[in-house]
Amino acid sequence: MNKKLTSLLAAGVFSLAAFHANAAEKVTLQLKWVTQAQFAGYYVAKDKGFYEEEGLDVEIKPGGPDIAPAQVIAGGGADVIVDWMPSALATREKGVPLVNIAQPFKTSGMMLTCLKESGVKGPEDFKGKTLGVWFFGNEYPFLSWMSHLKIPTDGGPDGVTVLKQGFNVDPLIQKQAACISTMTYNEYWQVIDAGIKPEDLVTFKYEDQGVATLEDGLYVLEDKLKDEAFKDKMVKFVRASMKGWKFAEENPDEAADIVLENDSTGAQTEKHQKRMMGEVAKLTAGSSGALDEADYKRTVQSLLAGGSDPVISKEPEGAWTHDITDAALK
């Protein structure tokens, strides 16, 4: 074969590859937190080629303590974000029209973890105690729960003192708080790894207390849903993402390994990620990706019941749609 023909063929192959690369529709996903098994479904979908099969080129942007997903999408930095519903609904009421298009997490992993020696045996013992609470939108479920219990959050003997908790478990280890916010799949195990035995702890799962609100869902801006091409792209994205989630549920160790491969910081450990994936699989179990309207209504009612300081002041309108999941699940 002469050199000219060889170079022409090479150019043809290159241009074909470039065409396919250009043909792939770009999607940018902003995560709520750093790369970890909490988001395994998306990393699995990318690693296993599920997005590619749908003709998508997906960029997954990790979050962090200084990253608010709602601000990122409002500023045009993402097409779709992972957020908790309390935060998303509060953000919507403040003028950023987020819409839930899918709900991979069926149940809540949030809980308060307390030192038994603090004397907390039940929620009635919270009064007079210091409780660690995450902010940046994560405080809403806690404030709603305290409202249900009719416990003020401004200190005093009949109220609780709220300690703005960093994204660590130090306040419990250092006994600055009787209880701290933890997730079943993450911070609880950090407490255990710090040397505190499970029998020395008392935990209160929001699910068990009847005040659970929906956590990791997928949200887009309302105006974007008027664009049929964008909606079609989200149908493909949700379908591939849920395929990733179901694979992760069934293959938790492999999913954890994929997450570790994508952790550019090197901060995560194999032991922690595999344990996390096992717990996260319990939260996504039973979800097809479609938002359960009863779960949505429970979340809204919990957020509205905030006494003088509710998380949202009125019933949201247009805050979710089944259009994307209906098409994705066909």
Long-range contacts of 57-60 (CB under 8 A, 24+ apart): 57/21, 57/24, 57/25, 57/26, 57/27, 58/26, 58/27, 58/28, 58/29, 58/237, 59/26, 59/27, 59/28, 59/29, 60/29, 60/31, 60/262
What pLDDT does 289 receive?
A: 97
What pLDDT does 157 receive?
A: 87
Contact predicate 141/109, CB 8 Å: no
Tokens of 25: 């529709």
What pLDDT does 138 receive?
A: 78
Question: Which residues of the chain fall below pLDDT 70?
Answer: 1-22, 137, 306-309
What pLDDT does 11 receive?
A: 54
What pLDDT does 303 receive?
A: 86
What pLDDT does 140 receive?
A: 80
Options 3.40.50.300, 3.90.1170.20, 3.40.190.10, 3.50.50.60; CATH for 26-107+214-328 is: 3.40.190.10
What pLDDT does 302 receive?
A: 84
User: Using alpha carbons only, what angle is made at residue 63 by residues 58 and 68, rounded to the nearest 5 degrees?
Assistant: 110
Which architecture characterizes domain 110-205 according to CATH? 3-Layer(aba) Sandwich (3.40)
Asked if the domains 26-107+214-328 and 110-205 are classified in one and the same CATH topology, the answer is yes
* Boundaries of every domain in the chain: 26-107+214-328, 110-205
What pLDDT does 311 receive?
A: 79
